[in-house]
Copies of this chain bind each other. A is one copy, B any other.
Amino acid sequence: MHELFLALFLIFVSARFFGELFVRFGLPAVIGELFAGIVLGPSLLNIIQPNEVLRLLAEIGILLLLFQVGLETDLKKIKDTGIKSIIVAVVGAAVPFIGGFLVSYYIFHQPVIVSLFIGGTLTATSIGITLRVFEDLGKQRTSIAQIVVGAAVIDDIIGVVLLVFINEFMIVGEVKIEDIIRVIFLIFFFLGVAPVAAYILSHFVRRLERTSHLPGFVPTIIVSLIFLFAYVSHIFGAPEILGSFAAGLAMSRRFVLPFAIAFQADERFLQKVEREMKPIIYLFTPIFFVMVGLSMNIREIHITDFELFIFALILLIIAIVGKFVGALLLRKLSLVKKAIIGVSMIPRGEVGLIFAELGKTNGVLKMTIYDALLFIIIVTTVIAPFLIKWLFKYEETLEEEKHHK
């Protein structure tokens, strides 16, 4: 037990240290937290081993982050940007998947199942990394952020469906189209019902709060709601973070207030939710990013073979370019904005790791292929925050120049 306290102490302090340090050098804080994980983990010092407890705390971290993103999401704007998000997500998932599959299967002569795993790893976007960068830059309420949030949520759904599909193909050897349709139907059912259910529940919670006789109502009940929706989301076969996102959406000011003009108290309640949840969110989210860093063992990358190097490089290009295609298809947006959207979808992070790890532990992926994928995951995860930050800065200077003319 006490070892865990030491581990948590090291995680918190190193995340804070490298976060603050990186920010002072103009680097994104989240890269500092990933770096803290790389330092503490098998890549460097190897003093913290990921275990069930740390994984749960990290999962709570990403659930809370998605709750916060939901809280700050404007549902009306999401409706406006919905089509754009779908284009970015679907194209950004399809191009790397198909590209990765074709290159692996036809050019590098990998078996079908291996090619599927490679395509799958290239597909998923790590929603956490991108959203955290937006939060850190204070850009989470821009229209670009809205498009990316929507796209990242849809991307996550595609990732889960793809995982079910590849997993079934791996075990059974074939895929029943009914199964895929059932999974998609359930997820979309959840996606439609969850925010409404969460809204009704949150209304009920707001009324209960006024009658509470004990302190601590808001943190315990809001966190309960998040866990409930994560659980129900999982039951529906959807990613757990979709549940906490829905819970956040239902509590968001722009979701609640138009319905509740009569209740002045609701504004006070929503402010209280934001105020009391913030310390809890800030406490848990670094654990998630440190754990992603912990899971990326740089020492495992052994790309000695020239052919493997070329293979990894081609896949990396597909992984990056594939995410831009969707953004480039959007209309009425400047090229810089399109570039920001494309770059935002690049990091593969923990979602890519889930695919690669699953392939490795099932013996489908040889170590060499795993190495190549790990290389791609680390590169995409690490470069994206830099590029996002740099592009936003570039956009600002463009705006200023326009202003001066």
Contact = CB atoms under 8 A, between A and B. Distances in A.
A277 B231 CA distance: 27
Contact of A16 (B16, B221, B279, B285): B221
Interface in A1-24: 1-2, 4-6, 8-9, 12-13, 15-16, 19-20, 23-24
A227 B286 contact: no
Copies of this chain in the oligomer: 2
Interface in A352-394: none
A231 B282 contact: no
Interface string A135-155: 010000000000000000000
Contacts of A1: 55-56, 59, 240
Given A29-B214, A213-B24, A279-B280, A220 B286 contact: yes
A110 B280 CA distance: 50
Q: Which of A8, A19, A52 has the most CB of B within 10 A?
A: A8
B214 A9 contact: no
A264 to B, nearest CB: 23
A82 interface: no
A12 B221 contact: yes
Interface residues of A, number: 51
Contacts of A177: none
Nearest to A213: B23
B221 A280 contact: no
A216 interface: yes
Interface string A87-131: 000000000000000000000000000000000000000000000
Interface string A327-355: 00000000000000000000000000000
A223 interface: yes
A214 B283 contact: no
Given A2-B231, A16-B214, A20-B212, A224 B279 contact: no
